[in-house]
Amino acid sequence: MKPLVYAPLLASALLLGWYLLPERETPEPRQAAVATPPPASPPTALPAMLTNQRPEQPPLEASQRGTQVDGQLQVDANGNLIVTDQLRHLFDYFLSAVGEISHAQALQRIRQYLQANLRAPALQQAEQLLDSYVEYLQALIELEERFPVVADLDGLRARELAVQRLRASLFDAEAHAAFFAKEELYNGFTLDRLAIQHDSQSSAAEKAEQIEALREGLPEELQALLVPQLHSELRQQTSQLQAQGASAEEIRELRMNMVGPEATARLEALDQQRNQWQQRFQRFSEQRQQILRQSGLADSDRQAELEQLLHSQFTDSERLRVLSLLELQGD
């Protein structure tokens, strides 16, 4: 398989997929890649279950000051831990301080936080998951040595499959789904999208339809998370193509492949609006310069002509924008 233009970006997504998902709120229940049984009783947020006070805030490092611990602890009516991706957020929050403090100190901070905010049996369950998560992170380093970043889909798929097998060997189905289901869906979508983009047998329109169907097949929650990521990636690649002198058709093909026909139509309409605005502003600037260069005009007459020009060509809201642009240009 030929090398992929998008491989560096995809490699980053697969290596750091969790951090590419901006969501940091407690998710609504949803079908996961691995089925998980519902809790025996409705989850109750820890503060309401165990104490009337807010969770105890631990000492924070310089980079974390002014922030709250990222991740909620939840237990059910029987005191058992409710395993959600919030627990992984919490672990990662403390581990992100490694470098300012040692790895051992970061783990100690996590254990102190759990001990201050949980009681048995939820405490022991959370500590066991922390042990498994630390073992996973250590094993992931070794796995990445066996599966270095490569520039072909087969290699990337092999690495992703190996990571999923590693997770399944260290976590039960419930924790695996809670910690990693969204990340694995995201990575699977990215790989499938790249496979479609590099299918030489399909036309640009066919690729766009396949990618749109692929995106629509994702859970709604993940579709919402993908939108800003895809548009960020699209802006980056569009800038690269434009810098290389790409044609409008090449830009359109990129958009069709990445965000589908409907979004492409909206972007093209926005392009047209921007072009029209730029043409209008350019005409105004030229006419304005003619007035400014005109000799024999009194300052009051010159200012009156400039005001007349501005009001004749732009609405109230547009005039504010024009004045801001002139100010930026130093005119």
Mean pLDDT by 10 residues, the chain (331 residues): 38 40 37 35 41 52 70 92 94 90 91 93 96 95 80 86 95 95 90 87 81 82 76 83 85 79 81 90 92 89 92 92 86 69
pLDDT at 61: 65
pLDDT of residue 257: 75
- Write phi, then psi, for 54 (nearest 5 degrees): -70, 155
Backbone φ, ψ for residue 169 (5° rounding): -80, -20
Name residues whose C-beta falls within 8 Å of residue 251's C-beta, 6 or more positions apart in sequence.
238, 241, 242
Q: How many Å apart are CA 115 and CA 124, to the nearest integer?
A: 9
Can you give the length of the chain in residues? 331
- Do the beta carbons of residue 207 and residue 256 sit within 8 Å? yes
Q: Are 194 and 153 in contact (CB under 8 A)?
A: yes
Q: From CA 90, how far away is CA 83, in angstroms rounded?
A: 12
pTM: 0.59
Which residue in this structure is represented by tokens 């290699």?
A: 155
pLDDT reported for residue 41: 37
Residue 32's contacts (CB-CB under 8 Å, 6 or more residues apart) are 177, 178, 181
Query: Helices 7-15 and 173-197: crossing angle, nearest 10°?
Result: 180
pLDDT tens digits for range 128-172: 999 999 999 999 998 888 877 666 888 889 999 999 999 999 999
